[in-house]
Structure 1
Amino acid sequence: MAERTGVPVRTIRFWSDEGLVPSVRSSSGHRVYDAAAVARLDLVRTLRELGLGLDEVRAVLARRRGVGEVASAHVRALDGRIRELRAQRAVCVLLARSGDEPDARSVTLMNDLARLSAGERQALIDDFVNEAFAGVDADAPGGWIANAMRSMPAELPDDPSPEQVQAWVELAELVRDPGFRARCREMATAGAGPGGHQERQLDPAAVAEHAGPAEAAGVDPGSAEAAAVLSRIPGVDDLDAAGRTATAETIELFSDRRVERYWALLGVVNGWAQREPVVPAFEWVAAALRAAPRG
């Protein structure tokens, strides 16, 4: 039987003892298998090679469950295992690329977070949003921040790149930081409306176009060159001293590098096109407004 099927003797005996492959005993006590047993053995071997457990094989043989039903359930289990293996592979590639030897905690954390299911990853983001923005009305001043963070999924692909795994790990650590949660809540609950913060916002595109190069070049915010840059940003020349201070306060309230990093990390995880950071340019503008008041 073993020679004919290629299944080891020990395995055939075990399957016979489990009732999966029928046999009878000869007068001398040897197991005897007929043609039906050979066909049954072939089926059991095939099902086991596909990864089905003994209980599932037994249910199929007893006709309590159809092969198609069992196979469908097994496909779902295999899909989950494949996703897990791909995530683990991405972690290994990331670790192999690392020039520094990571500590044991970092390796464990990276592997655990990468293997989370899509639902578990989304639950981590939802927990952050629910705690950071508890009680913040969707229509309240700054409520758009909470709404945006609630609507953004963090779906790690089935076959993630090492960069996506790294971004997810950093994102998971960020949203669990109490200081980050408090900062997001501060931004979401900031005042707006008549005379409020949102009326003192500058055009982000103009800030990036004019202040971005100045900040990158290291232009002193208190210099005459900085004043010339500010004058090219629409609305700045219309501000008096109090208006400049108020606008600087608004920028400082709504500009945070970690919040911007949150969106960048979500972009990496979800495969979105990356944008250049704009917060450093806004920080430079705030410093320039405070350094060179007019009026």
Structure 2
Amino acid sequence: MRYSIGDLARRTGLTIKAVRFYSDRGLVPPSGRNTAGHRRYDEAALARLGLVRTLRDLGLDLASIQRIVDGEATVAEIAARHAEALEVEIRVLRLRRAVLTAVARRGPTPEETTLMHKLARLSEGERRRLVDDFLTAALGDRPELAGVARTLTPELPENPGPEQIEAWVELAEMTQDADFRALWRRLVEQHEGGLRRGLAAELRDAVEAGVAPDSPRAAAIILGRDPAELRKWLGDVGDPRRERYLELLAVINGWAAPESLAPALDWLAAATAR
């Protein structure tokens, strides 16, 4: 059976102009011509045109399609390469979406917007160096704090979701803040002084047990601790940036949301106010 360009257009849903374009490019060559010199196509051309349309709908470029229809490459080979390229494009689009969402929500200055975009586009190695620089500045280069450093390290997955990308951008911005780094240095010093972990656990236990802040048991918890040091620790550990960092870290790493210290800190504030 022989088809005209119009026949191919009707059977494939393409325009006559599109069919003629593919024919002129050699993607769907005619099998012959009629007595009037008009191009005619056979069943193989119809099938070939259907493949060309499918591949174009999938986003393949004409050069790749030409290689496939000419037998120089298989559909699977070309599809694999295009799938990889699409994955890269998808990641880029996710990054753009995350930055635009954050910009729309936070209303940053032009300089802050530029920084957010830069942070979102960092490679894995660049992200690692940025985090390592923050942890070294905040914790010091001390082997005994390696475990603490691991618990504070964001690990953005290979294919992060929009919320993880947005969390990374915000967290990365925080790590560049000199005052935030100083906050963590103070927390580390207090940790080494025996305040942080042990006291936080005692406070949580007291809150859960319903111990009144003005009770003798409360007084026993804070007995022997310097009130000035306690107030300093309260100010640092109660800094909302510390908790926000941990919240963002949990989103990025896919962890459960961290338990808030706010109830325990409120209890301690009431206990030390007596």
Same fold (TM over 0.5): yes
Partner of 1:257 in structure 2? 240
Asked if 1:74 corresponds to 2:82, the answer is yes
Partner of 1:285 in structure 2? 268
- Which amino acid in structure 1 is aligned with residue 30 of structure 2? S
Gap runs ≥5 in structure 1: 215-224
Single out whichever of 257-266 and 178-187 deviates more from structure 2: 178-187
Partner of 1:146 in structure 2? 149
> Pairwise CA RMSD of aligned residues?
4.7
Distance (Å, rounded) in 2 between the aligned partners of 1:95 and 1:130: 26
Distance (Å, rounded) in 1 between the aligned partners of 2:233 and 2:116: 40
Distance (Å, rounded) in 2 between the aligned partners of 1:212 and 1:156: 39
Aligned residues of 1:210 and 1:229 also touching (Cα < 8 A): no
Single out whichever of 5-14 and 81-90 deviates more from structure 2: 81-90
**Pairs aligned (count):** 262
Aligned residues of 2:202 and 2:221 also touching (Cα < 8 A): no
Partner of 2:174 in structure 1? 174
SS of 2:198's equivalent in the other structure is: coil
Out of 207, 218, 222, the position equivalent to 1:236 is: 222
Give the deviation of 1:262 after TM superposition. Answer: 0.6
- Which amino acid in structure 2 is aligned with residue 232 of structure 1? A
SS of 1:15's equivalent in the other structure is: helix
Aligned residues of 2:31 and 2:42 also touching (Cα < 8 A): no
Give the deviation of 1:10 after TM superposition. Answer: 1.4
- Which amino acid in structure 2 is aligned with residue 139 of structure 1? P
**Measured at CA, do residues 173 and 5 of structure 1 come closer, stay the same or move farther in structure 2, by a change above 3 Å?**
same
Aligned residues of 2:238 and 2:265 also touching (Cα < 8 A): yes
Out of 117, 137, 145, the position equivalent to 2:141 is: 137
Mapping of residues 84-103 of structure 1, within 5 Å: none
Partner of 2:15 in structure 1? 8
Partner of 1:204 in structure 2? 200
Distance (Å, rounded) in 1 between the aligned partners of 2:133 and 2:152: 12
- Which amino acid in structure 2 is aligned with residue 184 of structure 1? W
Q: Deviations over 1:230-265 (max 9, x none)?
A: 84376532x16xx55455556656664312211112
Partner of 1:217 in structure 2? none
Asked if 1:63 corresponds to 2:71, the answer is yes
Distance (Å, rounded) in 1 between the aligned partners of 2:158 and 2:242: 20
Partner of 1:221 in structure 2? none
Distance (Å, rounded) in 2 between the aligned partners of 1:199 and 1:259: 16
Distance (Å, rounded) in 1 between the aligned partners of 2:64 and 2:58: 11
TM-score for the superposition, normalised by structure 2: 0.68
Partner of 2:4 in structure 1? none
Distance (Å, rounded) in 1 between the aligned partners of 2:141 and 2:113: 38
Q: What percentage of aligned pairs have identical amino acids?
A: 33
TM-score for the superposition, normalised by structure 1: 0.64
Give the deviation of 1:44 after TM superposition. Answer: 1.0
Give the deviation of 1:278 after TM superposition. Answer: 0.9
Mapping of residues 24-39 of structure 1, within 5 Å: 26=33, 30-39=38-47
